[in-house]
Amino acid sequence: MADTTYTFPIGPVHPALKEPTMFKFVMDGEVVVDVDVQPGINHRGIEFIGMRRNVLQTLHLAERICGICSIVHQYAFTLATERAAQVFEVPERAQYIRIIMAELERLHSHLLWAGVAAHELGFDTLLHLSWKIREDVQDVLEIISGNRVNYAMYYPGGVRRDIPPEKIPRIKKVLDHYKENFQMLADTFLGDPVIKHRTVGVGTLSKKDAIATSTVGPTTRASGVMKDVRFDQPYDAYADIDIKPVIPSNYGFEDAGDVYANIVVRLIEVAQSIEIIEYALDNMPSGPYRAEMNVNKVLMMLRKADGEGFGIHEAPRGEMCHYVRLKENQDNLDAWKVRASTYNNILAWQKKLIGQQIADVSIVAASIDPCIGCMDRVAVVDSRTGKEKIMTDVDFHRLSVEKTKRLRK
Partner 1 sequence: MNEEIIKLGFALIYGIATILAVIFLGLLYKGIDRKLAARFQSRVGPPIRQPFRDVSKLFMKETITPENSVSWIFHSMPLIAFATALLIILYLPIGPFAPILGEYGDLILIVYLLAIPSLAIAVGGFSSGSPVATIGAQREMVLMMSYEFPLAIVVLSLAWLANINATGNAFALGTFTANPVWEMVGIVGAMGLVLLLASIFVVLTSELSKLPFDIPEAETELAGGVFAEYSGRDMAMFYLADAVKSFAMVTLVVALFFPYNLSPWIISQFGVELPAIMGIPIAAYVIDLLFFLFKVFIIMFFAVTFVRVSLARLKIDKASYIYLVPTTIIAIMGMVFIYMGSAL
- Using an 8 Å Cβ cutoff, are 137 and 105 in contact? no
Residue 322 binds to partner 1 (criterion: CB under 8 A): no
Taking CB under 8 A as the binding criterion, the range among 64-72, 116-124, 244-252, 310-318 that sits at the site for partner 1 is 116-124
Residue 36 binds to partner 1 (criterion: CB under 8 A): no
Output 209 or 360, the one with its CB closest to partner 1: 360
Residue of the chain from 2, 4, 15, 405 that contacts partner 1 (CB under 8 A): 15
Residue 133 binds to partner 1 (criterion: CB under 8 A): no
Of residues 171-230, which lie at the interface with partner 1 (CB under 8 A)?
A: 192, 194-195, 197-198
Can you list the positions of beta strands (E) in 16-153? 22-28, 31-38
Instruction: Find the shortest distance in angstroms from Cβ 122 to partner 1.
Output: 3
The end-to-end CA distance of the chain, in Å, is 55
Residue 18 CB: number of other CB atoms within 10 A?
19
Strands 31-38 and 318-326: unpaired
Residue 6 binds to partner 1 (criterion: CB under 8 A): yes
Output 119 or 352, the one with its CB closest to partner 1: 119
Q: Which of 108, 30, 91, 98 is nearest to 285 (CA)?
A: 91
Residue of the chain from 62, 102, 114, 121 that contacts partner 1 (CB under 8 A): 121
Residue of the chain from 59, 76, 100, 118 that contacts partner 1 (CB under 8 A): 118
Taking CB under 8 A as the binding criterion, the range among 67-75, 154-162, 248-256, 357-365 that sits at the site for partner 1 is 357-365
- Using an 8 Å Cβ cutoff, are 151 and 98 in contact? no
Output 6 or 396, the one with its CB closest to partner 1: 6
Taking CB under 8 A as the binding criterion, the range among 39-47, 119-127, 283-291, 392-400 that sits at the site for partner 1 is 119-127
DSSP conformational letter for 158: E
Taking CB under 8 A as the binding criterion, the range among 1-9, 45-53, 174-182, 326-334 that sits at the site for partner 1 is 1-9
Residue 119 binds to partner 1 (criterion: CB under 8 A): yes
Q: Is 231 exposed, middle or buried (0-12, 13-18, 19+ CB in 10 A)?
A: middle
Residue of the chain from 19, 103, 105, 120 that contacts partner 1 (CB under 8 A): 120
Instruction: Find the shortest distance in angstroms from Cβ 262 to partner 1.
Output: 16
- C-alpha gyration radius of the chain: 22
Strands 158-159 and 307-315: unpaired
Cα(216)–Cα(404) distance, integer angstroms: 28
Q: Which of 151, 148, 108 is nearest to 131 (CA)?
A: 108
Cα(399)–Cα(114) distance, integer angstroms: 41
Cα(75)–Cα(253) distance, integer angstroms: 32
User: Peptide bond preceding 12: is omega within 30 degrees of 0, i.e. cis?
Assistant: yes
Instruction: Find the shortest distance in angstroms from Cβ 358 to partner 1.
Output: 6
Q: Return the sign of the alpha-carbon dihedral for residues 402, 405, 407, 409.
A: negative
Taking CB under 8 A as the binding criterion, the range among 235-243, 356-364, 384-392, 398-406 that sits at the site for partner 1 is 356-364
Residue 355 binds to partner 1 (criterion: CB under 8 A): no
Residue 359 binds to partner 1 (criterion: CB under 8 A): yes
Kindly list the residues in this chain that would bind partner 1 in the complex (CB under 8 A). 6-9, 14-16, 30, 118-129, 132, 192, 194-195, 197-198, 357-362
